[in-house]
Structure 1
Amino acid sequence: MEREQRHKVIMRTVDRPGITRIDALTELTGVSAVTIRRDLAELEQAGFLVRTHGGARRVMKRGTPQPFAVRRAEDRAAKQALAVAAAELVADDESVIIDNGTTCQAVAARLAGRPITAMCLSLHSAMELGGRAGATVLIPGGPVETDTLALTGSGVVSALRDIAVDAVILGSCSISLTHGLATTTWEDAENKRAAITAATRRILVATPRKLNHVSTFRFADIGDLHQLVTTSDAPREILTAVRDMGVQVITVPAPAGKG
């Protein structure tokens, strides 16, 4: 089966709910598992699917948030590695805003016990930091979003406009060279814009699956960042383009076992 035909078969099969296994794709296409893994890598880079351990799944539709528990389970080892690197960018006695999301929660866990002042935009991160002595933990006023425990509403933006911090640890649902940084809800984008304005240094922590994707609500340009922390298996050409925008790219070794 030719490459283009295989890709059509793979995309059509993966578009069904759940995870499509590599062995099922080898049976459908008649090629080796090595070839299927290469196809999946190409299709993931193009944004058509997401590789998982031993298979692939479809990409969520633009603007559709995934459940927090699902996102927290994805790329768990990579997020832990990224959290270590991101936490090292925050010095003792600095002030920091910690965005909502599972990767930022992992960073908060690494910062726990450190003498910092942190405004957390989700209760998940606040609990990580507040569970150990050391950090001064602040949360803005406002409703708490179900599932993500993110703080929402005009009170969050107001609180962010009234502070100035050394750094912000940001998450993003998507990072596109043409569309910038974006998220899946208007409220989240508003919070991120205010957090960026309040911070001297802007640090985005993201797994490679967020690169080369587009979400609905744009909140910044890539060039607004100072540092991007990701893993070494991120597409090289995208990282080169990000560096050309003046952003320092910090990569950590990619955990083994993907695909």
Structure 2
Amino acid sequence: MSLNNGKESKADKRHKKILRFFDHKDKLKVTELSSSLEVTEETIRRDLEILEEQNFLIRIRGGAIEKKSEGFETPALERERKYLPEKNAIAKKACSFIEEGEIIAIDASSTCLQIAKNIENKPLTVITNSIQVSIELAKKKKITVILTGGYLRHESMSLVGVSSDKVINDYHIDKFFISSAAIHSEWGISDSHEMQAKTKKRIADLSESIIVLADHSKFDQKSLVRWLPIENVRMVITDDALSKEQLDRYQEKVTEVIVVNPEI
């Protein structure tokens, strides 16, 4: 964005204002920007296109979300608060696919934490490397919880490392519910931390079915370590902010893509 090359144009000033809206919102709508900045929706769409080309944001249906930095893992408590309505709706849908008596795995992510909060108290075995997930499930006496062990990563409150892999090595897992830092239709599933990615990959190798839970901000992104081809995913559950073009692209790669409407 050429903000310092001489006198700022009206467009440059508008672009600055658009980016400042991200200080207060995770998702910007074309209609709201048009009203706030007193320009046409077509002008806003052109602005968002320019800002996307300059790597400041990602356009979605009806608006835009902020561009994330690759290779950085947001602390667990901060991630838990972000896109909470979307994550809650996605997790509730995921819970509908969990059957009594199954052995499932839940990874250490803010989205999958919502599964632990919403899951019915029924006979299940849950394998997890998440401290937060285990604490939530401890409230539900019918669920057997197996912690993988390993080294504690404070940023994600997860257990990783060789000892974690040894614990889970002989388990059979019916369904593995995961989220991830980034999802890409060609690059696949990737994460910002190598040991975290290795632990997820080991659990995935033992699982009959892999179900990805991801809000719209995770799509068309690449993070540091690729650990799972997109074709290995059985199902993706996401919110309704993806464009039709994005949905079509991922439906070509994944057996089933389910879209939910968050309660905002």
Structure 2 length-normalised TM = 0.81
Give the match for residue 190 of structure 1: 198
Matched, 1:213 2:221: yes
Quick one: distance in 1 between partners of 2:109 and 2:101?
24
Q: Percent identical across equivalent pairs?
A: 24
Give the match for residue 70 of structure 1: 78
Against the structure 1 CA distance between its residues 18 and 242, is the aligned structure 2 distance closer, same or farther, given a 3 Å change threshold? closer
Q: Aligned ranges for residues 109-124 of structure 1 at < 5 Å? A: 109-124=117-132
Give the match for residue 239 of structure 2: 231
Matched, 1:105 2:101: no
Quick one: distance in 2 between partners of 1:252 and 1:116?
25
Q: Which runs of 5+ in 1 are unaligned?
A: none
Contact 1:17 1:57 in 2 (8 A): no
RMSD, aligned CA = 3.5
Matched, 1:125 2:133: yes
Quick one: distance in 2 between partners of 1:232 and 1:220?
24
Quick one: distance in 2 between partners of 1:46 and 1:178?
22
Give the number of aligned pairs.
Answer: 249
Against the structure 1 CA distance between its residues 102 and 41, is the aligned structure 2 distance closer, same or farther, given a 3 Å change threshold? farther
Matched, 1:163 2:171: yes
Give the match for residue 60 of structure 1: 68
Q: Which runs of 5+ in 2 are unaligned?
A: 1-8
Contact 1:208 1:234 in 2 (8 A): yes
Contact 2:230 2:254 in 1 (8 A): no
Contact 1:180 1:218 in 2 (8 A): yes
Against the structure 1 CA distance between its residues 205 and 47, is the aligned structure 2 distance closer, same or farther, given a 3 Å change threshold? farther
Against the structure 1 CA distance between its residues 8 and 172, is the aligned structure 2 distance closer, same or farther, given a 3 Å change threshold? farther
Structure 1 length-normalised TM = 0.82
Structure 1 or 2, whichever has the larger Rg, is 2
Shift of 1:11: 6.0
Corresponding residue to 1:19 among 23, 27, 40: 23
Against the structure 1 CA distance between its residues 124 and 20, is the aligned structure 2 distance closer, same or farther, given a 3 Å change threshold? closer
Give the match for residue 153 of structure 2: 145
Shift of 1:249: 0.8
Against the structure 1 CA distance between its residues 244 and 18, is the aligned structure 2 distance closer, same or farther, given a 3 Å change threshold? closer
Against the structure 1 CA distance between its residues 17 and 217, is the aligned structure 2 distance closer, same or farther, given a 3 Å change threshold? farther
